[in-house]
Structures are given as C-alpha cells and as structure tokens.
Structure 1
C-alpha cells in the first residue's frame, strides 16, 4: 500500500483524510502492524486508483481471497461482443485490442492486413504489438516518421508503467529503448500540428493515421480492466481513400 501511495505522490495525511481514517491507522497498515478490513482495502485502492490485478495482490497480502476474477477475452460475454463490434465497425480503418503488456487480443481485418508481412519470429503468439511495430525487422521499416513515433511510444509506455506497474512492461520498455536508432526517416509530419501521426509507407501509397484509445468503464474483471482498443483514423482524405481500396 505504501508503494502505491508513493507512486501516486500522495502523503499519508492526504490519503488518510480522503479514505476517512486516521494517519496513524494508515501508517500501521503500511508497516504491517494492522490488518485492514476488505472494505478498507477497497477504499484505499479506490483512492489510489490501484489496478484490479494489484488489488488482488493486496487482498492476498492481508489474508483474504482475491475479489476480482480473471477470465479470457472469449469468456467475457457482452464485453467481448462490445470489443468485436468496435473492431468490426471501424472498418476499413485498422483497429486492435491489446492487454496491459501490449499483447494482441483481437484485431479487425484492416489491422491484420498491416501485420500480414511480419517475420514469423515477431508473430508467435501472443504477438506483442509494440515489438512487432518498432523492432528493426518489423513494421518499423515502413514507418516514415520512425524517430518521432518511437519517441512518442516510449513516453506513452513510460506513463503507463508509472500508472499501472504492469508485470513485463518495464522489460518491454527496456527492449524498445535498446533497438538501434532510426536512420533515413523523416523527423515529423509536415501536414498536421494536431497530434503525432503514424506515417506508414505501403505498396499502395503513403498513409497518415491518427489514433484513439478506448477502455472499459467500471471494470470488475482483471482482463477487462487491462484491455485497451486502439483505433486508427485517416488524417487526410487521401489516406481514407487508400484504406478503402486496400481493404477491398
């Protein structure tokens, strides 16, 4: 609990007041001199925005059974149907669903089109989307603004690691940072100052893509808590026309 409070840059007094307990009681919980109730763990986790996977670890540390289940995406019923609907409805633009470690859970036909020519070593399940994208043998060969895009991805993963402490994410970030520095790529997109785009070279022409990230609100399942849907949009009319022609 102290680790999460420190990660959130919160003082004991601040958290204690927000969770309606004394600073002394919180100190005793953090040092193991007091065992919190289930309700107290839930209140503190809500206040510190602790991910569900880590909440289960805190329940176990206090001697309780984990509260949040973890089912595969295929067993998530209506939530799985929602993911499928978003992916299919986003055609002809690419969209994919990943977990907290950026492992591919599902993708629409347009996204599969871009991943089709990757070497087998980068496609072994579970495919890691960031590795497949930024590895020198991966999609990075087609990214025209690789220097700009890789810097953006590194910052994003760093923020995600600070917020979630997801297992394996630190190793993934270190791996990305170890890839050779990009060469012979343009530094930035000259056409837009709205967002950092993904500039992708294809056999059909160059694409300029924006992206959004969608997560589930109020998840109670660990898998659902860690799912993110990455949806890409054309940044110009030429890209929109190319996407329609490329996906048939």
Structure 2
C-alpha cells in the first residue's frame, strides 16, 4: 500500500449527490483525490453541495432527474466534457413513498420504481457506454437491506432495491470483458435526515435489531463505496456488500 490517495486523477459521477449518502460518498471521493460531478433533482442544493466540496476545480453540479435517460446522459457528458472522462459511476438517487399495499397508490408505486430501478438502469447504460470505450471503470449501485428481507410498508421500495441486485449481476456479466466492474451496496439502518425523522420508539426498535447495537454513519457506507470504486476491489464484480452492523444476516 502507498500513501497516494486511492482515487487520484479519477472522475466520478454521483446521483442523489446533494445530501445524505450521496454527499457523504462525494466527500469521501474528493478526500481521496477524485473530481466529482453531482447529479440531483434539487438544483440549488446540488450547487451548494458542489461549493462545499471545493468548487469548480473538484466538484460540478448538474440538475438531473434520473428517471430521464436524456438527463442522465447529459450528467455523464458533463463529467466527460468538464473533467475529461468518467471512471466511477455511483447510482445512489432514491426516494421513499412508504405505505401498506392497501393504502399505497399506483402513483407511489410507479414513482419509487422509476427513480430507483429505471434511474439505476439509466445510469448504468450511460456510464457503461463511456466506460466500455475506455476499457475500464467502476459502477456502484445503491441497493438496500430492504431489498433482501422486505419491509412492511415498502412493497415498492423493497421490490426496486431487490431489482437493483439482479440488474447489478446482469450488467456485471455484460461489462466484465470490457474491463468495467459493477457492484452493489446494501446499507442497513444508517443515520440520516430521513431515518432521524422516525418516531423514537420505531428508531429504538430498529436499533435493537442491530447486533452491533447502533445505527451506521453515512461515512461508513461511503468508505465501502470507496473500496468498490477503487483498485482495492479490482477482482470484484457482480457482488453485493451488506453494510448493516450485522442486522438481517
């Protein structure tokens, strides 16, 4: 091992990069020498995040709705045009529209499937097109432990996150011979604005299910994304790494 940052000279695109896990991943990547392009549906928040990361020389902001193939292609093009290439793609953008099946609307189902599943496919396809020409690249897809075990009130989310695992495995087989690796992460209970909004009793019951006795921090997921994005994982593709503190083994 050397003291050279793991992502020196690399360019990464991160969807849903303005906040939460996406922003934590961006911070981690920049600290390891990468230049990042953040794509997020909230343009103002994305620009603020890019400024916080160090401004134009290391971070660019692009307003992007991942359900639109054209917008995702424009996001990838911004990395190629702005920084000269694309080495890493993190498909992280996501939403929740939780409700039991009895109460969930068709629109709530469609929205979650579109953002997570189609959004990840759009990112895979756009990044894969650039990376296959370069004969190298790493793609990291954000699944969830909900896609492994299923959660009450998340028939839409659990289905989408499980779908991302299947998509990751299929894409990894298509792209492996071209030098492009595709892996996924399944976070468990991670501290974020979204999870901290839970009623305390719900939060406590979830923490009680974690053998390590605590929620994870966004940086702990970001470091796994760093591992999958870097040459440390050079012989890994089609894998799914659980970052759960031992929950739902």
Q: Structure 1 length normalisation: TM-score?
A: 0.28
Structure showing greater Rg: 1
TM-score in terms of structure 2 length:
0.28
